[in-house]
């Protein structure tokens, strides 16, 4: 009976009595070393366009490794095998990453972000939501994909403008979400040229009073919803 591959990481399962004289070497090369790569191995590459990760039974490949380190490029799409698998992905490119099996649900990672994603083996890829360290500012600022999953707080005694970066300048991930707080005595004005900002059924620039709280959620390209308290 020939060897068979494990389902997720394609390690060699040898049949009973097989490869009697070469079992140790095959175990080291086709199981132990590949398992080591599956647990903590890293695949580093630049990306400008699309890439399908290699996946080979009993052989070193790209898809088996736990960490994908995108070191540069303009971003794009990474196609992974449709298998139950967890990846830690660093997006060091200047654009958004799309992680997909080629169909079903995709996960999106903003430029500069490091995110966990997992595939359920049924053509669905999900991104783990990570809450980031709050960012404090006493000046006008631009809200960018680096703030996705985090909190931006104004500590100013004067009104400050928080401008949402447009898709033309920033690669926002689908489902991006940012919390905004007025931690100082000044209000916050939420705005953005070329941005549609919807609050309570109407669109336009909105003001969050001192002590108020807003939640920005991306609905589509340059399309944002705002909810919260102290908003006019």
Q: Give tens-digit pLDDT for 149-189.
A: 889 999 999 999 999 999 888 878 778 889 999 999 999 99
Q: What is the pTM of this model?
A: 0.67
Residues paired with residue 162 on neighbouring β-strands, in sequence order: 141, 190
Instruction: Give pLDDT, residue 219.
Output: 92
Confidence of residue 100 (pLDDT cuts 50, 70, 90): very high
Q: What is the pLDDT of residues 50-59, one digit of tens each?
A: 999 999 988 8
Instruction: Give pLDDT, residue 32.
Output: 83
Q: Closest by alpha carbon to 59, among 101, 11, 125?
A: 11
Instruction: Give pLDDT, residue 58.
Output: 86
CB 69 within 8 A of CB 48: no
Instruction: Give pLDDT, residue 149.
Output: 84
| All structural domains of the chain with their residue ranges | 1-130, 135-231
């Amino acid at each position: 009976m020939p060897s068979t591959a494990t389902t997720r990481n394609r390690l060699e399962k040898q049949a009973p009595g097989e490869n009697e004289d070469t079992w140790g070497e095959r175990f080291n090369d086709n199981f132990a070393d590949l398992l080591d790569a599956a647990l903590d191995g890293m695949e580093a590459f630049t990306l400008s366009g699309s890439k399908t990760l290699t996946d080979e039974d009993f052989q070193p490949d790209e898809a088996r490794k736990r960490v994908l380190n995108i070191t540069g490029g303009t971003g794009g799409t990474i196609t992974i095998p449709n298998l139950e698998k967890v990846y830690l992905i660093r997006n060091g490119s200047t654009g958004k990453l799309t992680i997909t099996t080629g169909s079903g649900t995709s996960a999106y990672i903003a430029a500069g972000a490091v995110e966990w994603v997992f595939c359920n083996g049924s053509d669905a890829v999900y991104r783990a939501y990570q809450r980031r360290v709050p960012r404090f500012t006493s000046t006008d600022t631009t809200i960018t994909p680096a703030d996705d999953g985090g909190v931006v707080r104004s500590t100013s005694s004067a009104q400050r403008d928080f401008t949402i970066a447009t898709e033309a300048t920033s690669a926002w991930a689908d489902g991006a979400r940012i919390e905004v707080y007025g931690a100082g005595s000044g209000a916050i004005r939420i705005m953005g040229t070329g941005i549609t900002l919807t609050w309570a059924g109407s669109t336009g620039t909105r003001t969050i009073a001192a002590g108020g709280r807003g939640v920005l959620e991306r609905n589509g390209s340059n399309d944002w919803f705002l909810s919260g308290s102290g908003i006019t």
